[in-house]
Amino acid sequence: MMKIKSLLLSCALGTLLTGFASLQAADATAPAHDIYLCATISKNYVIGSKLVTNSGVYRRDAEGAFQHFGVNFPFVLNIAFDPRDRRRCYAVCINGVLQSTDGGVTWGIGNSWDMTEAKDVCIDPNLPDHVYLALPDGVAVTTDRGATWVRQEKGLPERGKYTQTIRVDRTKAGRVFAGCEAGIYLTENGAKSWCRVFPASQTVTDIQQSPHDPKLWYATTQAEGLQVSRDGGATWRKVAAIPTAEAIYNIAFDPTDARRAAISSWVYGVFTTEDGGQTWVERNVGLPADHTAFRVGIDPGNGRLFVSLYREAMLTSDDFGRSWRGVASLEGATVYNYVFVPKPAP
């Protein structure tokens, strides 16, 4: 703990401020994407507490600082924006799914009591009225932009359908992967039926599709390390370089460079590849000794790498993990997700 505090102190007092200034300088051209963070900053928050800090969703402003966006809610894990109209968005949280149709000014709870503690949300870019929800007891789908949410679990196991992550194949409407306790499940028909394409002994934690090659997918897991598919998710094999004894939390592709990707792990810290996954390298110099890496994200505008340390800070790297510096205003935060959304046309 002391090491983390020392790190933060040095970040906060020195490197961080100058580093943050240089981060802005590096962004001389206006970014093409907005960055949203799903973050909880209420350290020691427990159910019922007053909200003494803002949590929920943060958006990077024109000056590069993160400003609170929308509802102040402690456990927002992910947010998805309708590609046709960014004012319509879906945020998953302990209550289920929060929905807004006015750009986050007002929100409503989309689900009833029979859905809870949603873990992930994903919009089908080819059918944006269709939104998929990952739940601790399965999967729910709306086909009417959140007006109604319906369980769609045929083919998921009765036990083992704890769903941590859900991801839509951008190349085909209704083709969706669900990362469950029992493995990766695939539907080709908008969740009308599911079949298992990868068996797991414990939870699949993240699934991502390459922005460069739609056939390339990675999945992080709790007990099977990092899995890769090069045939659109039909088959998966383990990435040998990544250990499997401890959980891998998530993976991020670099949209600016097809060779680069990064993974986070509480125990292992950050690994990156810069050769299309042939080799993976630990990038933990400058991170605390116990790592606690919770989430990585990569800015699609410039390839900048972010890592969130659990309840401590968000760090960023301009050299893809070789060195790290703190990001101002997010001390004590846990970032659950980095969400990059193309800016609307002017």
Does residue 198 touch another protein according to CB under 8 A? no
**Between 63 and 158, CB nearer to another protein:** 158
Q: How far is residue 286's CA from residue 79's CA, in Å, rounded to a whole number?
A: 29
CB 263 within 8 A of CB 222: no
- Contact (CB, 8 A) for 92 and 76: yes
Binding residue (CB under 8 A) for another protein from 47, 63, 345, 346: 47
181 makes contact with another protein (CB under 8 A)? yes
Q: How far is the CB of 88 from another protein (least distance, A)?
A: 14
Q: Are 162 and 111 in contact (CB under 8 A)?
A: no
User: Whole-number minimum distance, CB 175 to another protein, in Å?
Assistant: 25
Burial 97-132 (b: 16+ CB within 10 A, else e): bbbbbeebeebeebbeeebeebbbbbbbeeebebbb
Q: Residue 187 Cβ, how far from another protein at the closest point, in Å?
A: 21
Look up residue 11 and give its DSSP letter. Answer: I
Does 119 bind another protein (CB under 8 A)? Our answer is: yes
| 132 is an interface residue for another protein by CB under 8 A | no
H or E, element range at 88: strand 85-93
Q: Which stretch binds another protein (CB under 8 A): 104-112, 211-219, 273-281, 318-326?
A: 104-112
Name the segment binding another protein (CB under 8 A); options: 31-39, 43-51, 320-328, 337-345: 43-51
- Residue (of 325, 295, 345, 312) closest to 37 by Cα position: 295
**Closest separation between CB of residue 224 and another protein, Å?**
14
For residue 37, give every residue at least 6 positions away whose Cβ sits within 8 Å of its Cβ, in sequence order, or none.
Answer: 57, 58, 59, 66, 314, 330, 333, 335, 337, 338, 339
Under the binding rule (CB under 8 A), the answer on residue 51 touching another protein is: yes
Region from 102-110, 125-133, 189-197, 255-263 binding another protein, contact rule CB under 8 A: 102-110
One symbol per residue from 134 to 173: x for binding another protein (CB under 8 A), - otherwise; what is it? Answer: --xx---------------------xx-x-----------
Contacts of 215-219 with CB under 8 Å at 24 or more apart are 217/177, 218/251, 218/253, 218/261, 218/263, 218/277, 219/177, 219/179, 219/184, 219/251
Helix H or strand E encompassing 185: strand 183-187
Q: Environment class of residue 244 by beta-carbon count within 10 Å: exposed (0-12), middle (13-18) or buried (19+)?
A: middle
Min dist. Cβ of residue 4 to another protein (A): 12
Return the SS3 of 176. strand
**Residue count, binding to another protein (CB under 8 A):** 44
Of 21, 32, 62, 94, the residue at the interface with another protein (CB under 8 A) is 94
Which position among 6, 14, 108, 147 is part of the footprint of another protein (CB under 8 A)? Answer: 108
Q: Which of 74, 183, 190, 286 binds another protein (CB under 8 A)?
A: 74
Rounded to a whole number of angstroms, the minimum distance from the CB of residue 212 to another protein is 28
Rounded distance, CA 192 to CA 199, Å?
20
Q: Does 2 bind another protein (CB under 8 A)?
A: no
CB of residue 303 to another protein, shortest distance in Å: 26
Give contact residues for another protein (rule: CB under 8 A): 44, 46-51, 71-75, 94-95, 98-99, 106-109, 112-113, 116-117, 119, 136-137, 159-160, 162, 181, 203, 205, 222, 246-247, 249, 266-267, 292, 294, 310-311, 334
